[in-house]
Amino acid sequence: MREQVVRKHHHEPLMHIAKRDDMAWWKAWLIRLAAVLIALLFVGVISVILNGGVFFETYGTMFRGAFGRLGSGSTRLLWKFLQETAILLGISLAVTPAFKMKFWNCGAEGQALIGGLMSAICMMKLSDSLPYPLLLVVTVITSVAAGAVWGVIPAIFKAYYKTNETLFTLMMNYIAMQLVAYYAYVNAIPAGSGQIQSIDTGHLPVIGGQAYLLNILVITVLTVVMAIYLKYSKHGYEIAVVGESQNTARYIGINVKKVIIRTMLISGAVCGLIGCLLVAGTDHSVNANTVGGLGFTAIMVSWLGQFNPGIMIIMSALIVFLDSGAAKVADTFYLNGSYADIVAGIVILFVVGCEFFIRYTVKFRHAQKEVDA
Amino acid sequence: MKKILAILLAAVMLLGLTACGGDQSDDTMKVGFIYLHDENSTYDKNFMDAAKAACEKMGVEYVQKANIAETNDCYDAAVELVEEGCDIIFADSFGHEAHILKAAKEFKDVQFCHATGTNAHTENLDNFHNAFASIYQGRYLAGVAAGLKLNEMIANKEITAEQAKMGYVGAFTYAEVISGYTSFYLGAKSVCPTVTMDVQFTGSWYNEQLEKDAATALISKGCVHISQHADSMGAPTACESAGVPNVSYNGSTEAACPKTFIISSRINWEPYYEYMITCVKEGKAIDKDWTGTLQTGSVELSALGAKAPAAGTAEKLEAVKTGLMDGSINVFDVSTFTVGQKTLTSYKADIDSNVEGADTEVIANGIFEESKYRSAPYFDLRIDGITLVNEKY
């Protein structure tokens, strides 16, 4: 019976997958939105199974965890949400030129941390000897420079000796963490505790009474600059070509070594700047946890955002929403910290998975028209 | 397909609506807790269990924020708890202090309590408080149990009196840890005079592998008994597989280590929680710096292990405990230890944690008065008989 069918249809399989022509942008976004919604429904079901609670309560709690009680007119958590989104976006922007060049910069954590360490050192050691405006300038410059150095070392080795940049940048993270731990140990407040509790001097200025506004503004500007740099500058073009094919790049006369080193200088420098915003702007102290793994989350944001700063804004916001919302659910229903990871994991799986339906189409046997995803 | 999308969109709007509602009831008192990790860490679990018990007993609401790093996250968590309507906010980790302090300065009508911190008595705010317990008493008692075990091993000719060497896995070379292992050692020495001790630091409060490795290294160096001041199961499990008796911390590890578990000391936070809740309920001021003791029920010993402890341990512990409570026994009695082969008569400790360093005389009437001038430990002397294997952290 089966054989007959197969013969009749000239060995056409039940279904096959074909690359889709360009889909209308709004259709693609509808699919992505639907994927997130389905994922969230899934999350709701899992939450009900885990805590035996009410289905809708999960979502209410998630919203409250991410944005606070907006109904009561309080915007504090909203500011926190914007701050976290901005910092994550900032580091994601930093790694993007490198990733677009197919240079696997897994060292954003360390590059930001070493920038933060330099900020802390300036704040602690130079505040007596430099006037405040000069101190700020020195703090920012040294932090950016430290990040750039941390980024360029693996790039030089990659360009000249073809070392594996993934391992190299990863290892540089640990060096940065140990340096921070060592510095905190030696300069601990209180002495011997191994921690710097709080640095009172050299803070970045607070704009408009909102502690996080400066960071948000800086990263807004950074987003625009990075979008222009990647899309319209000659450097951005060179990065794209080197990423696609180094041979092509060489053939058309691009100095690949130079592009690799220059791009990592920029990537590391931006990380260093974010480290400075974190330490001098927000935390006013430094420890190995200051960047808190954002250097790795940023890699995911960069990829999910398809190296497009605009989409990366949405992805950063989504991830921060999931993290803070799921943490709130975990705390409210006494689930443990892994719950937040599970939630984020599910949603990201759906978001990544839906790209398949945007780029490809499943054609069934007999089907005359494309199956609507 | 479009229909499905429409339905989904409608669903999300519904969700958005329900999200805006929210329950805001401010009549009952609410306590917010900030934890460094979640219940997988014995340190945080100890606080969590006490919070649940105390709040349920006192009939107050409670909320928690777990996995809060010692960064600005802690300040944000405190702000969130204020928004939730908490009247008291408690944070459990040393590194939370600066961030809690920042929140306390901003929200003057919320009480902030912080375990293990040192700054409340110098900051002198009406709504910021430190708390700790005289856990050195508990460790001293646990040390007595360890010493009795060593005596039993000596009597059974398993070791000679000179081989009675204990190992101790510590986190950092910091007063809290030094005070802890010294009191433990003095407890053991009070019953087994020949005992010596090696201390190895891991440089981390929670690192299972490092703690396990440190315990194993100490055992291979001839330590016949292990104890620890770090939060994972690393050292106890290393002892269980090597068959070396272990005095644990933060709660019984008997279930995982039935052959080698002797006893464990821990701080019970319930009395403090009840105290702070009662203060706020009655409108009284909370102590700037509160120290729990054996008397308040803050210092607790677990049940003895079934197999490992020496005979007669329970009776001896009861006697020593009575002595500690009535003051006839003092843990840091300067006649029981020497520093650089000399008996101490005077020592200035750094109580105010400031750059000037040592500021307060802490020896009086032949006793080093630990936890008297502030709740967080400040005994940081290196006494004879204890060797620090490393000190780089």
Average pLDDT over residues B64-71: 92
**pLDDT at residue B356 tops 70:** no
The pLDDT value given to residue B7: 56
Dump pLDDT digits (tens) for B77-130.
Answer: 999 999 889 999 999 999 899 999 999 999 999 999 999 998 899 899 999 999
**pLDDT at residue B8 tops 60:** no
Chain B positions touching A75 (Cβ under 8 A) are none
Number of domains in chain A: 1
Of the candidates B21, B37, B102, the beta carbon closest to that of A60 is on: B21
Structure tokens at B170: 């510590």
Q: By CA distance, what is A34's nearest residue in B?
A: B5
The pLDDT value given to residue B12: 52
Average pLDDT over residues A262-290: 95
The pLDDT value given to residue B18: 46
B366-370 long-range contacts (CB < 8 A, ≥24 apart) are B366/B333, B366/B334, B366/B335, B367/B330, B367/B332, B367/B333, B367/B334, B368/B332, B368/B334, B368/B344, B369/B332, B370/B134, B370/B136, B370/B179, B370/B331, B370/B332
Structure tokens at B29: 């008192």
The pLDDT value given to residue B28: 85
The pLDDT value given to residue B22: 41
**Interface mutation vs chain B, best among A38, A57, A58, A69, most B CBs within 10 Å:** A69
Q: Which domains, ranges and CATH numbers included, belong to chain B?
A: 28-134+270-292 (3.40.50.2300), 135-266+300-388 (3.40.50.2300)
**pLDDT at residue B392 tops 60:** no
Average pLDDT over residues A215-225: 97
Place of tokens 């407040």: A189
Please check whether residue A147 lies inside any domain of the structure: yes
**pLDDT at residue B3 tops 70:** no
Mean pLDDT of chain B: 90
pLDDT band at A373 (very low <50, low <70, confident <90, very high): very low
Residue B380 forms contact with A (CB below 8 Å): yes
Interacting residues of B124 by C-beta distance below 8 A, sequence separation 6+: B288
**Torsion angle of C-alpha atoms A186, A190, A195, A199, degrees rounded to 10:** -90
Please state, in angstroms and as integers, the Cα–Cα distance from residue B40 to each residue in A338, A345, B46, B51, following that order: 10, 21, 10, 16
Average pLDDT over residues A54-72: 84
**pLDDT at residue B289 tops 50:** yes
Domain that includes residue A140, residue range: 77-333
Percent of chain A residues topping a pLDDT of 70: 93
Asked if the Cβ–Cβ distance from A63 to B20 is below 8 Å, we say yes
Which residues numbered 41-70 in B keep a CB inside 8 Å of some CB on A?
63-67, 69-70
Interacting residues of A137 by C-beta distance below 8 A, sequence separation 6+: none
Mean pLDDT of chain A: 90
The C-alpha R_g of chain A, in whole angstroms, comes to: 24
Closest among A169, A154, A140 to A299, alpha carbons compared: A169
Asked if the Cβ–Cβ distance from A185 to B393 is below 8 Å, we say yes
Q: What angle do CA B265, B37, B296 make, to 5 degrees?
A: 35
**pLDDT at residue A9 tops 80:** no
Which H helix or E strand runs over A5? helix A2-8
Dump pLDDT digits (tens) for B251-269.
Answer: 888 999 999 999 999 999 9
Please check whether residue A272 lies inside any domain of the structure: yes
CATH code where residue A256 lies: 1.10.3470.10
Please check whether residue A371 lies inside any domain of the structure: no
Chain B positions touching A69 (Cβ under 8 A) are 22, 24, 83
**pLDDT at residue A68 tops 70:** yes
Average pLDDT over residues A304-313: 94
Please check whether residue A62 lies inside any domain of the structure: no
pLDDT band at B350 (very low <50, low <70, confident <90, very high): confident
Angstrom distance (rounded) from CA A99 to CA A105:
7
Q: By CA distance, what is B76's nearest residue in A?
A: A80
Å from B100 to nearest chain A CA?
11
Stronger pLDDT, A336 or A151, i.e. the higher one:
A151
Q: How far is CA A34 from the centre of its chain?
A: 22
Dump pLDDT digits (tens) for B228-246.
Answer: 987 788 899 999 999 999 9
**pLDDT at residue A18 tops 90:** no
Residue B100 forms contact with A (CB below 8 Å): no
Average pLDDT over residues B348-356: 76
The pLDDT value given to residue B104: 96
The pLDDT value given to residue B193: 95
Average pLDDT over residues A241-250: 95
Contact A265, A152 (CB under 8 A): yes
Asked if the Cβ–Cβ distance from A292 to B73 is below 8 Å, we say yes
**Interface mutation vs chain B, best among A27, A85, A128, A283, most B CBs within 10 Å:** A283
Average pLDDT over residues B309-318: 95
Dump pLDDT digits (tens) for A324-352.
Answer: 999 998 888 888 778 888 898 999 999 98
**pLDDT at residue A164 tops 70:** yes
Please check whether residue A340 lies inside any domain of the structure: no
Asked if the Cβ–Cβ distance from B80 to A331 is below 8 Å, we say no
Phi and psi (nearest 5°) for A360?
Answer: -125, 165
| B386-388 and B360-361 strand pairing | unpaired
Which H helix or E strand runs over A313? helix A309-332
The pLDDT value given to residue B23: 44
Closest among B54, B99, B57, B59 to B81, alpha carbons compared: B99
Structure tokens at B190: 């009070």
Please state, in angstroms and as integers, the Cα–Cα distance from residue B268 to each residue in B50, B115, B296, B357, following that order: 7, 12, 10, 31
Dump pLDDT digits (tens) for B134-190.
Answer: 999 999 999 999 999 999 999 999 999 999 999 999 988 888 999 999 999 999 999
**Interface mutation vs chain B, best among A75, A85, A285, A331, most B CBs within 10 Å:** A331
Please check whether residue A345 lies inside any domain of the structure: no
**Global confidence as pTM:** 0.84
Percent of chain B residues topping a pLDDT of 90: 76
Asked if the Cβ–Cβ distance from B19 to A62 is below 8 Å, we say yes
Please check whether residue A70 lies inside any domain of the structure: no
**pLDDT at residue A1 tops 50:** no
Average pLDDT over residues A224-246: 96
**pLDDT at residue A190 tops 80:** no
Stronger pLDDT, A372 or A280, i.e. the higher one:
A280
The pLDDT value given to residue A102: 94
Interacting residues of A312 by C-beta distance below 8 A, sequence separation 6+: A89, A92, A93, A96, A223, A301, A302, A304, A305
pLDDT band at B206 (very low <50, low <70, confident <90, very high): confident
**pLDDT at residue A356 tops 90:** no
**From A115-119, A323-327, B214-218, B312-316, the region with the lowest mean pLDDT:** A323-327
Q: What angle do CA A152, A269, A131 make, to 5 degrees?
A: 130
Average pLDDT over residues A319-323: 93
Stronger pLDDT, A49 or B354, i.e. the higher one:
A49
Angstrom distance (rounded) from CA B228 to CA A26:
60
Asked if the Cβ–Cβ distance from B94 to A327 is below 8 Å, we say no
**From A297-311, B32-46, B352-366, B379-393, the region with the lowest mean pLDDT:** B352-366
Average pLDDT over residues A125-133: 94
pLDDT band at B20 (very low <50, low <70, confident <90, very high): very low
Which residues numbered 187-226 in B keep a CB inside 8 Å of some CB on A?
203
**pLDDT at residue B42 tops 90:** no
Chain B positions touching A76 (Cβ under 8 A) are 79-80, 83
Q: What burial letters (b/e) apply to A94-131, b meaning 16+ CB within 10 Å?
A: bbbbbbbbebbbbbbbbbbbbbbbbbbbbbbebbeebe
Please check whether residue A373 lies inside any domain of the structure: no
Contact B57, B274 (CB under 8 A): yes
Residue A175, burial from CB neighbour count under 10 angstroms (0-12, 13-18, 19+):
middle
Contact B250, B300 (CB under 8 A): no
